Amino acid sequence: MAGTSQNNFHAVSLSGGKDSTAMLLLMIERDMPIDMVLYADTGMEFPEMYDHLAKLDAYLYEQRGIHITVLRHPKGFEYLMFDEPKVKPSSIENRLRLGVPLYGNGWPGIRVRWCTGALKTKLIDKEVKRLKGELGAIHYIGIAYDEACRCKGERYPLVEWGITEAQALQICYDRGYDFGGLYEIYNRASCWCCPFQRIGELRKLRKHHPELWAKLMELDDRAGKQFGPGPLGQFKKDWSVLRLEERFAQEDSTAA
């Protein structure tokens, strides 16, 4: 475990979700040093999440005089999905063989989960590496006690304090951070367009965020046209967003 000297630089990773929010709120309350709070914005978060981050940023500034440092891929999710040119000879050869266009990564899949790396982990890891190298930074990550198996050599205050995911959410609620009700509806609060979310979460997306559902239908239609029926053009195995729309509409009419 890294040292805790007050002379170190203290960098906090924030995902915006309940665990990292609870960690940040408690670190502030417990007078722990915080020099930088890093957040990687995929550009595909729920509007309620952006409101939550703005509120948290205002509190952080009021308490510690710093703002959240937002990291973004220079071109973003849709560019990576539809427009990024393939340059590796093996990728080009593979795509030519499959008759798939030479640009765009398509929908993220189990085997090629490009989004997490390009839009989150690479950005955070690069900045943390720089801060460690230049300033000897200690890096704090908001993993809850019940997820302690994911810890890997950084500082994990919630684990150290024995705070579970359920407790983390309650800590946020108790301090007036309700995420605009996101956790009342969904089990998760990351990208609304994530193809790895369960069908039940997508059913709720259609019901509670119809404008995002409409955007998801557009993205999937575009992916299908650009990449065809293979994995790159496939939102979920066996399900296009259009087929899900038909399924959910059918369920609605049966329930009516």
Residues near ligand SF4 (CB under 6 A) are 42, 108, 113, 115-116, 119-120, 190-191, 194, 196
Alpha-carbon distance 82 to 68, whole Å? 29
Q: How many CB atoms lie within 10 A of CB 212?
A: 16
In the complex with ligand SF4, which residue's Cβ is closer, 12 or 118? 118
Structure tokens at 46: 């729920």
Alpha-carbon distance 75 to 54, whole Å? 22
- Shortest distance, position 216 Cβ to ligand SF4, whole Å: 11
Question: DSSP 3-state assignment of 198?
Answer: coil
Which distant-in-sequence residues (6+ apart) come within 8 Å of 198 by Cβ?
187
8 Å CB contact between 177 and 55: yes
- Shortest distance, position 62 Cβ to ligand SF4, whole Å: 30
Q: Which amino acid is at 105?
A: N
- Shortest distance, position 85 Cβ to ligand SF4, whole Å: 21
In the complex with ligand SF4, which residue's Cβ is closer, 108 or 157? 108
- Shortest distance, position 22 Cβ to ligand SF4, whole Å: 20
H-state helical runs in 103-154: 114-116, 122-135
Alpha-carbon distance 242 to 105, whole Å? 20
- Shortest distance, position 196 Cβ to ligand SF4, whole Å: 5
In the complex with ligand SF4, which residue's Cβ is closer, 21 or 42? 42
In the complex with ligand SF4, which residue's Cβ is closer, 131 or 193? 193
Q: Is 117 left (phi over 0), alpha (psi -120 to 50) or beta?
A: alpha
In the complex with ligand SF4, which residue's Cβ is closer, 105 or 167? 105
- Shortest distance, position 205 Cβ to ligand SF4, whole Å: 13
| Residue-wise DSSP of 143-173 | --GGGGGG--SSB-HHHHTT--HHHHHHHHH
